[in-house]
Structure 1
Amino acid sequence: MVSLVPHTPDAVPDFARWPSFPFDGDLRVKQLDDPVDVEPPRKGEGTAECSSCSAPDDAYIWVSERWRVRAMDRPTGLPMVLILESRSHFDLGDLPNLLAAELGVMTVRLERAVRSLDGVARVHVNRWGDGSAHLHLWFLARPYGQLQLRGTFLSLWDSILPPITESRWRENLALVAAWLAEFGGRQLAEPPRIEWRTPSNLLEQASHPFDADREFGVELDADGRAAGDGPAAVLPIESIEPAADLDELVASPDSADPEDAVPGSSRADAVPAGVDASASEPEHTGAAVTSSEDDQPGGELDDEASDCAEQAVGTEAAGTGMSRRSAQPETVPAASGSARGGPTAGAATGSAASRGPSDQGRK
């Protein structure tokens, strides 16, 4: 009598030796169960409740009038895992022509959006449909450079790899949603919030004086100077106290250099001993003596020539009786604004009242 022996493969299939196969070691194939006569209903099939139809739009990252995209409830091992669903309850073979045409456009658009993320090399698009009767397509992003994740077992690696950070995951969701929103629909995924943190010691630093030893490792003595025989410590500007009185930095007048005296000051205008100070100042008869920036450079020479002429005339007058008036030179025009007592430009009438003392002596 011959008994039936269940068939057991002698060895595992060849794909177990592929580099992309996520397991290693001694493996054996499971025993295959007998087929069933009636398959159990899927989610959303028949009288079963459809979770996709009852889900609100807030559970998705992007929605439109006929399509919605959702993500996992937490980060996984791959950079991005998304599911494209139709808003209406259809399976793939039940789609009307309009949705069937849009499905191709949405598949390409979502694949491009996921592939645009940093660190993504390829996007695997899968459709199984054994768990839910509502149409849903999977989009799995394969990390760039991870050649071992290529091929059939990418979905298995997603559960094996350590999950990515939540901040990166949320940022990727927001980028994909924004990409889709450029073609219509509504973006629901927002980028992660930036956590602005104030330094914990900010108020403490403001309430305490500057400490050079704590800030720069410089020890200061009682006078606030760098201790030690080494080179002087370079302290920040904030740590240097201002002078108590600015006058301390100004030298006393007695110690000033005579060469530094400013013309017009009391020392620069000092009159030598034995000289009458009143004789060196011009007399004023009523007309203001003004100085002008337009003074001619020859004014001083004319005055010196006049003084010499007056001395010569006085000498000749004593010997020959010649009149002073006949010997004096031509007078300086009244319009010149000399700074040595000459009339101003406004006093051009030539009257005696508007001229200086030297003009009266030349009449």
Structure 2
Amino acid sequence: MAGLALGIREKAAAEGFAAIRIARVADDPLTAKRLRDFIADGRHGGMGWMAETEERRSNPLRLWPEARSAIMLALSYTPDIDPLERLKDPSAGVISVYALNRDYHDVVKGKLKRLAQWLARQAAAEVKVFVDTAPLMEKPLAQRAGLGWQGKHTNLVSRELGSWFFIGAILTTAELVADEAETDHCGSCRACLDICPTKAFPAPYELDARRCISYLTIEHQGHIPRQFRKLMANRIYGCDDCLAVCPWNKYAVAAREAKLKARDDLQAPPLRQLLALDDAAFRNLFAGSPVKRTGRDRFIRNVLIAAGNSGDRTLAPQVQALTRDPSPLVRAMAVWALTQLLPAAAFADLRNTSLPGETDASVRQEWEAE
């Protein structure tokens, strides 16, 4: 199968993948234990699907017993901008670099399907493709294949690509020549741990999603705990801090896929414009974007927190209008933002007129909290 492995590497390069490595599909007790401990400690937060799929997720052979080889691929999305520089403008929202254009799931999966179809024909083998949506532990599998190693921030790092790349996987029944696993090259560096605004890493190589801004702004469906709101600053979808400071990024290669290059209108969108989005406008602005999956209400929740952190009192009229939004999630965060933007006396007057008509308990709590 050496010739087949060479062929798939050539096809992968033609599709724009920056790297490709192959691993044998096998049981991985250490990964299974880490997953079990992560869930047992509740660090998965509200991502109940992780607990529901733990058994299959812990071992790729439980997901597909016939699989023999895993082809792991990296697609670069290295930004042209400094992700941390955008945090200096509190009037604009910061969207994670990976979400500044098309949804990577669609982009990567299309490329994987073409590769898999070629492999299926050449090897007369079965194939399945994965891009971060199935119960497959892709990062440990990628490390076993030699694509990179899981850094202290738990994300994959490569000596050739840095941190800015997506992972795609093709599982197949074909027996392919495997590459050597990658070893850890973090050394004594702890830049990713130290920069985290919410201290989401209890220890190196461990993540508590409940404290992670990416989780809070994207996956968390309820009200964001008060202790994290000011720490979010103007991050309205995801967080790039731990990736951006990785010293291995000096080797990162430029993104080749045009669909992953940042849209101009999403690099630093003014909070004033985002606060005005109704559901239709939200869907139109983020059509084809991963941001769309949060839904308008959760997204505006995040924007309101950024507005509260902005210190810009001229946003108060827009924020106040959102205290009458149909969504309790939006109303609650609008109230919190007003506590940050209005003088105490003005907020008290508004509370006295608004609180009696509020029916949602969580929103009432925000009115009464200050």
TM-score (structure 1 length as normaliser)? 0.20
Structure with a larger share of its residues in helix: 2
Structure with greater Cα Rg: 1
Larger relative contact order (Cα-Cα within 8 Å, sequence gap ≥ 6): 2
TM-score (structure 2 length as normaliser)? 0.20
